[in-house]
Copies of this chain bind each other. A is one copy, B any other.
């Protein structure tokens, strides 16, 4: 009875929405038919199916190159075949380092040998299934044996090293111990190495995702004392994918760099450890007490070092070449078979990988089955839909990157968009991606019901911003029709599509009501997932509803649901941010330099402590932002005019649709970003010194942030040219 009532409410909700607002790219009749199709699609999604697939696919550790990984590939490929897909297993030969030796020992002033293993828990039977388990390590650390004193570098970001400088502490010849967080992990050894450290240890501080954050596994979702976050430390902000084959698919016959020349392998050895192993190391450190903001949750006083704690670390890896298998399943479009809507999620895990990546993968499988059933009943997609299950994402987006590099020309010609998912959990919908898809993404969030509250996913997200958001975000709820989707940095398989080829992309998940305590640990299991992250997998179904709608609307819309006012509005925001960045850096630099000159630090600092004034910095000049503003102006006008064209309801030809879907390519340049030509997108990129975190208009923003002022105006011209190119493309769309 309750269930019936809830369906009624849902029905009323969708009907009301349609009448009020329609669907971008569809006329009224088309929108009604599409929504009916989506309701049918929803009815074919099953939490029970997804839970069964989750149970099977996360039963064992299944990393790239392992027999269990191959079993996952086969299971997924067989399902797609059963459901009627054309299935190909795209195989690449990729470099895969796995640990042969991992030793970490405190040798002075006391002795401790790190355990470096995670505990099997009687409460979680999966944790006893450890055949072919990859022990805790950071992939693409080089081999090495080093012994030196420890220096505590907090998160190991550039700002952290500025603080260490004030204490007169260098990591030169030392081993840096950094906590997870604050930046992507790969930045920690990269920066430590640049600063002269000879090794890096990364540990998970319990304040961040252990007992400080909440009850630990198995009592709660947070990090067990023995849990270690594995992960790649490949220099992905330079290029992701197989380190030996940048720019080309890692086919058997591809030309390869010698491993010694691969620039994305670390320069110094790096090892991740648990907080249980970190405690004796940190406890043995001396020197100045860390600044207040650097304190963690261990029951000790944290010190900067160097030493007297001295550690020896030895790491050796099997540098194997292994096959990476992408499952590529194709459902031919009835009207535009050459136009590809690609929907992907990786299948490899560091361990059992229940959340990461299987939770996203089983949502994708649910979508694929429902779509195939609709197709079998004559309601198939008008454009071709490609489902992809990627291998070796964990080592550096390797499966997806090699496939994208391998098929770059075809994708450049035919790819309409790429929809990515990865881990999922209870909570609030998050969509990031290309702002040409922002309006469509909003319509999708509007049309999917939140499983816990019965309102739309969009309304629940709005409520969260209303209650927890920053003032600016709250104010915008009233002044802006659409929720902003966040720009994408890196961290999952959208990077090669979006940032290498300029294919409009979305990354979709739910989250915010469960934790990341299990991330990349032995405890990312079926038991953990179904107990804490999404009991009953109701948010898995919601994820399939959101990603499925995005896929189907892109596949079926007579006029592709690309839109440009959202893009111009977000670019405008990024430009304001960059101008404010320059202004605030200029003001802060002037004021800090003046304070340094005035000598107040000598008076204000405690003379008994080893801390001095910061160093003076070069003053920030004024920059000519006019080219960017002029380009934005063109884009804003063209975008407004194109919105009028859409509102007029004119149908779109195939050539107009091609102009639409290829428009994101206008935001790329063949020669890419400074120092990292693989990244061709000039609006979105992962930060060179932040890793996963996005930098928008990265050429300009990073030149300012890194104080390379002489580069700024060149970068402004490039970015302005890119925006002008997009404006011209939109103008062309208006004039068609």
> Which A residues contact B (CB, under 8 angstroms)?
206-207, 211-216, 220, 222, 289, 295, 297-301, 426-427, 450, 452-453, 455, 459-460, 462-464, 466-468, 513, 595, 598, 600-608
Contact = CB atoms under 8 A, between A and B. Distances in A.
A213 B290 CA distance: 9
Contacts of A463: 600-604
A607 B464 contact: no
B289 A215 contact: yes
A601 B299 CA distance: 36
Question: Assembly of this chain: how many copies?
Answer: 2
A607 B297 contact: no
Contact of A604 (B207, B464, B601): B464
A111 B216 CA distance: 23
Given A463-B600, A467-B595, 11 more contacts: A211-B299, A211-B300, A213-B301, A216-B301, A222-B301, A297-B297, A298-B299, A426-B606, A462-B600, A463-B602, A466-B598
8 contacts: A211-B300, A214-B301, A216-B301, A299-B299, A463-B603, A466-B600, A467-B600, A467-B604
Given A214-B289, A289-B215, A220 B604 contact: no
Contacts of A220: 289, 301
B453 A607 contact: yes
Contacts of A455: 603
A211 B206 CA distance: 16
Nearest to A607: B452
A602 B459 CA distance: 11
Given A467-B595, A595-B467, A608-B513, A211 B301 contact: yes
B301 A453 contact: no
A211 B220 CA distance: 26
Contacts of A295: 207, 212
Contacts of A216: 301
A466 B289 CA distance: 23
A254 B450 CA distance: 72
A40 B141 CA distance: 69
A595 B213 CA distance: 27
Nearest to A428: B604
Contacts of A207: 295
Contacts of A299: 206, 211, 297-299
Nearest to A289: B214
A455 B599 CA distance: 12
A455 B604 CA distance: 11
Given A603-B455, A607-B452, A608-B513, A215 B466 contact: no
A612 to B, nearest CB: 12
B608 A301 contact: no
A405 to B, nearest CB: 42
Nearest to A222: B301
A299 B282 CA distance: 15
Contacts of A464: 603-604
A468 B206 contact: no
Contacts of A426: 606, 608
A463 B607 CA distance: 13
A222 B602 CA distance: 25
A207 B296 CA distance: 10
A370 B471 CA distance: 59
Nearest to A514: B606
A603 B453 contact: yes
A513 to B, nearest CB: 5
A478 B30 CA distance: 68
Contacts of A453: 602-603, 607
Question: Which interface residue of A297, A459, A603 has the most chain B CB atoms within 10 A?
Answer: A603
Given A463-B600, A466-B600, A595-B467, A606 B513 contact: yes
Contact of A468 (B300, B467, B468, B604): B604
Nearest to A598: B466
A453 B298 CA distance: 36
A215 B607 contact: no
Nearest to A206: B299
Contacts of A300: 211
Shortest Cβ-Cβ A-B pairs, 10 listed: A463-B603, A467-B604, A463-B600, A463-B604, A299-B299, A464-B604, A466-B600, A513-B606, A211-B301, A214-B289
B301 A467 contact: no
Contacts of A598: 466
A213 B592 CA distance: 27
Contact of A466 (B206, B452, B468, B604): B604
A452 B450 CA distance: 63
Contacts of A301: 211-216, 220, 222
A450 B603 CA distance: 9
A471 to B, nearest CB: 11
A162 to B, nearest CB: 16
A598 B301 CA distance: 46
Contacts of A222: 301
Contacts of A603: 450, 453, 455, 459-460, 463-464
Contacts of A608: 426, 513
Question: Which interface residue of A216, A298, A600 has the most chain B CB atoms within 10 A?
Answer: A600
Nearest to A212: B295
Nearest to A455: B603
A601 B467 contact: yes
A607 B454 CA distance: 12
Nearest to A214: B289
Contacts of A298: 299
A216 B297 CA distance: 16
A465 to B, nearest CB: 8
A452 B213 CA distance: 42
A496 to B, nearest CB: 35
A207 B292 CA distance: 10
A297 B296 CA distance: 9
A131 to B, nearest CB: 33
Contacts of A602: 453, 463
Question: Which interface residue of A216, A459, A466, A604 has the most chain B CB atoms within 10 A?
Answer: A604
A533 to B, nearest CB: 12
A604 B298 CA distance: 32
Contacts of A459: 603
A512 to B, nearest CB: 8
A245 to B, nearest CB: 44
A604 B460 contact: yes
A553 to B, nearest CB: 25
Question: Which interface residue of A300, A426, A595 has the most chain B CB atoms within 10 A?
Answer: A300
A211 B207 CA distance: 15
Contacts of A468: 604
Nearest to A464: B604
